[in-house]
Structures are given as structure tokens and as C-alpha cells.
Amino acid sequence: MKKLLSRKRGNEIIGRFPRARVLVVGDVMVDHFIWGRVSRISPEAPVPVVEVDKENLLLGGSANVANNICGLGGQVFITGVIGADAMGDRILSEFRHRGIDTKGVVRERERPTTMKTRIVAQGQQVVRFDRESRRPVSRASTGKVLRYVGSLCGKVGAVVISDYNKGMIGAGLLDGVRKILAGSAAVVCVDPKQNDFSLYRGFDVITPNHHEAQRAVGDAMAAAADLVRIGNEIIDRHGFRALLITRGEDGMSLFEKDGRIVHTPFPTLAKEVFDVTGAGDTVIGTFALCMASGASFREAAVLANAAAGIVVGKRGTATVTPEELRKAL
């Protein structure tokens, strides 16, 4: 890790965060957590009875990516689609509270705001239920999103496409983003959920987890050699400048188009407190912010790995501060 990024260089990149600007495009949602305890089984059915202690409504999906960038001190802009409902109102309120511009958030009356509800008892998730519509957003909404992207072309250093496969990210939107950003210096980073990575061709960086990378090539990953083979195949097939595969508690692997491969081990302490909720959002948010701050792919990967190591030690959807990231160096 020291060879890839010195403490001095890491602090230099972090110090640039307040001047860096990142646009997030993707599926905006709410993460709803219900926390409680289980002490008995229901007499009505063989299911646990959760005695609720508290609940939280947090920014999720692409909204969590934006929240992570904001938490690190970066300037963030977001565009996506929400419903004309109470949860949509809540998201807009949370954005305004954080000073995040809401002009790019589009509301559709015909769809609900996506919300994932997780019931957690004694630190273990008991069940999750989702309120959502996965049908594609309307052409009118896509047009509004693309106009907002166009208004920021040349004004941001990085763009995140946060795809949760909830209807926001489709071929039409991606083609529009490509045309708008053609010739732009902004680095485009994609967090994919669809198995066909050809949808994302033409963008700079893609950050799948190891399961998503396997599905993208239709092959299983049984050993380290398989990881290298799969990584190289994705780069060769789709022409990304870089591929960052997240591997849970095993860390991350960065593949660059010039053939360089770097494996960053996960921080040892993080393995003991592993809650992956929202960790992928932290990774791509930190990576994109680093790129907008002048970091190389390898430097951004090291800092994103460190940020993930911090966030998995926090319960639920969480963010990282610049001070925590500096301490991790």
C-alpha cells in the first residue's frame, strides 16, 4: 500500500476534495432500517417476532453515492428519478440539508420512490422487502436527466453512473450521456448491475464486485488465476481504461488497459466488523472524487479501498469523513 500511495500524496489528494466536482447519475432510493431484538417465535407462524427499538431512513443507491462524496467534502451534483410521494419529499429534504443541488431530480407520478426496508435483529438482517417499480423511466424523464447532464458538461471532473437496475439506466440514457460527454475531460465511472457490460462501453472505469464480473463473462471464479483471466477479458472485450473488481473482505483488484494489475488487500481490522451495506457506493464515490482531484487510477483505488474498510465498520448505510480517511493512511 505504501508503494502505491504515500501518506503525503494521499493527504494531498484528500486536500483537493473541496475543489473537486462530481456528477452522479443513477437510481435514487431510500434505505429504511428497522432495528430490534428477537426473543420469541410468533404463535401465528414459524417466524421470529422482532421487538422494534428504532428505525432510520437513509439515502440509498445513487443518493448514497452522492452522500459519500458530500461527506468527504466534495462538490456533488445528482440527477435521477423519484416518485411524487412522501419518500420523494424526504429525499429532496435530505439533499437540501446537505447542500446538494436538486435541480436534476425528476419526479414521476406513476412510480413510487424506490425504498429498501431491512429488519435487523441482534445485528443480523432478518428480512428485506422492497417497494419499487423496475420499469424504464419515461422518455420525458430521460430527456430531463440528459438536459441536466448537458448543463454540467465541462464543469465536473468526474461522472458516476450508479446503476441499480431500477429502470433509470438504459441504452437510451447511456447513449445520450456518451454524446454529451464526448470530448469532455471528465472521467466516467460506472457501478454496474446489468450483466451485459457492452451497455457501458465507451466509459472510462467500471467497478463490479466479483460476482458481477463473473456474470459479465459467463464464467466462474475459483482461483486467483481466474480473477486475472476474467479481469483481462472484461478490459479487452469492452475497452474500459480501468476495471476495479471489489472482492469483499479479500480487497480489490485494479486492472488497467495497459496491462498493469494491482491487488489491494482489505484492511485487517475491517474484516472483524463486516457490514457491506452501501460499501459499493462508498467505493465508487471515493474513487470518482479522487479522480476529480487529480489522482491516478491506482491512487484512487487505494483510497477507495481504505474508505470501504472504514464504512464496513459502521452499521447500516454509512459515509466516511476526510479525517477518517487521513487516519486510515
Q: What is the mean pLDDT of each run of 10 residues along the chain (329 residues)?
A: 80 98 98 94 94 94 96 98 97 96 96 96 91 95 98 97 96 97 96 95 95 89 80 95 91 94 75 63 97 97 93 79 93
1 lies in a domain? no
Catalytic: which of 27, 191, 275, 281? 281
Max CA pair span of the chain: 64
Amino acid at 275: D
Q: Is 30 part of any domain?
A: yes
In this prediction, residue 276 carries a pLDDT of 63
pLDDT, residue 225, reads: 74
Q: What pLDDT does residue 123 have?
A: 83
User: Is 305 within the bounds of a domain?
Assistant: yes
DSSP string, 12-61: HHHHTGGG-EEEEEE-EEEEEEEEEEEEEE-SSSSSEEEEEEEEEEEEEE
β-pair type (21-26, 75-83)? parallel
Considering the domain boundaries, does residue 119 fall inside one? Answer: yes
The confidence score (pLDDT) of residue 316 equals 66
Q: Is residue 94 part of a domain?
A: yes
Cβ proximity of 250 and 276 under 8 Å: no
Number of domains in the chain: 1
Q: What is the pLDDT of residue 2?
A: 46
User: Could you tell me if residue 123 is inside a domain?
Assistant: yes
Other residues' Cβ atoms within 10 Å of the Cβ of residue 128: 11
Which pLDDT value is given to residue 223?
67
**What is the domain-level CATH number for residue 73?**
3.40.1190.20
What pTM was estimated for this model as a whole? Answer: 0.92
Residue 88 lies in a domain: yes
Domain, as residue range, for 287: 7-328
Handedness of CA 274, 6, 232, 234 (dihedral sign): positive
Q: Identify the three-state secondary structure at position 328.
A: helix
* Residue 281 annotated among the catalytic residues of the structure: yes
Q: What is the pLDDT of residue 248?
A: 82
Q: At which residue does the C-alpha cell 466516511 appear?
A: 320
Q: Any idea which residue has 487505494 for its cell?
A: 302
